[in-house]
Structure 1
Amino acid sequence: MSSAASADAIGTLYRDHHGWLQSWLRRKLGCSHQAADLAQDTFLRLITARRQEAFRTPRAYLRTVAHGLMVDHFRRRELEQAYLDALAAMPEPLAPSPEERLAIFETLLHIDGLLDALPETTRRVFLLSQLDGLTYAAIGEQLSLSLRTVKRHMHAGFAQCLAALL
């Protein structure tokens, strides 16, 4: 599809489905402003992806992309609330500055994204080790995994962290 034809197709898709998508998101989110933002983000993803599937089944494609963005939005909001709750529990002299808070929050979002990219079992093994401090043997027992399998999952978790640093 030529660039001009693609732009026309995206424009038509936007005109035909933007209102529907924004209404769908507004019902799910309960907020017209967030719905408008996520609808725009959905079409931005469509423009950058240029997937033919979007033109064959536009509403299904748009709903799938919008749902993923909505899940990311809720995850971010939940993480932000947990961080704000932890900050509120800190004594005032120990509380970080607004700049430090932003840097910490962005780091938390990055870590959350890294962990979310791991397969479920790898993520569980990695978190049981790193957050709960369980030994590999204890993790294996709790998840009914062999010690070798636990080590393989830990290796994958550490590899993901290392790749993020590089």
Structure 2
Amino acid sequence: MDVGIKPSTPMDIEHLYGKHHGWLKGWLCNRVGNSADAADLAQDTFMRMLTLRQLPVLREPRHYLVTIARGLMIDKARRQTLERAYLEVLAARPEPLEVSPETYHLIIESLLAIDALLDGLGARTRQIFLLVQLEGLSYVQVGRQLGLSVTTIKNHLGKAMMQCIRLMDD
């Protein structure tokens, strides 16, 4: 394909463009299935060549153009795959809930009560309660993480649950 390298000039690329652009666009259209994408990719192929410091001396310019165009098609396919995956994740997200002012007030009150409850617990009991309730760890996992027995974990959680019951009675 390449027999040497010489500094590229706009005239070299202009000549290559004039001679092979139509052919490349047709070649791309057969592969991507529509003329708009083919035109974009053909244009991008020549734009890529403009960024070269030196243009290779080409015996088979079409082979060189196809090599660049294939790389651009792969890049485009990867980008489209990422975009589709991102849109699928966005579509799978639940719609944001509209919360009435009354519900909002109740949520804030509940959070303040939970905060007061947690503040009323000792540091170790609070830590155990949060590990079990928020992080979903089992008693055994919490015991291993904190270096405590399962019985100790149960005792601390019993204290925390009693605080919850007292809070509900208020």
TM-score, normalised relative to structure 1? 0.51
- Given candidates 28, 33, 37, the residue that maps to 1:30 is 33
Counterpart of 2:74, as a letter, is V
- Given candidates 76, 81, 87, the residue that maps to 1:84 is 87
User: Are residues 1:53 and 2:52 paired?
Assistant: no
CA contact (8 A) 2:7 2:54 kept: no
Higher relative contact order (CA 8 A, sep 6+): 2
Corresponding residue SS for 1:93: coil
Corresponding residue SS for 1:53: strand
Following TM superposition, the consecutive aligned residue runs of length 4 or more in structure 1 with deviations greater than 2 angstroms are: 50-57
Counterpart of 2:18, as a letter, is R
Corresponding residue SS for 1:61: helix
CA contact (8 A) 2:41 2:69 kept: yes
Which structure has the highest helix share of the two?
A: 1
Percent identity over paired residues: 54
CA contact (8 A) 1:13 1:55 kept: no
CA contact (8 A) 2:41 2:73 kept: yes
Corresponding residue SS for 1:19: helix
* Aligned mates of 1:61, 1:55 — CA distance in 2: 8
Unmatched runs of 5 consecutive residues or more in structure 1:
95-166
- Tell me the residue number matched to 1:11: 14
Which structure has the highest strand share of the two?
A: 2
TM-score, normalised relative to structure 2? 0.50
Unmatched runs of 5 consecutive residues or more in structure 2:
1-5, 98-170
* Aligned mates of 2:18, 2:27 — CA distance in 1: 15
User: Are residues 1:42 and 2:45 paired?
Assistant: yes
* Aligned mates of 2:7, 2:54 — CA distance in 1: 14
How many residue pairs get aligned? The number is 92
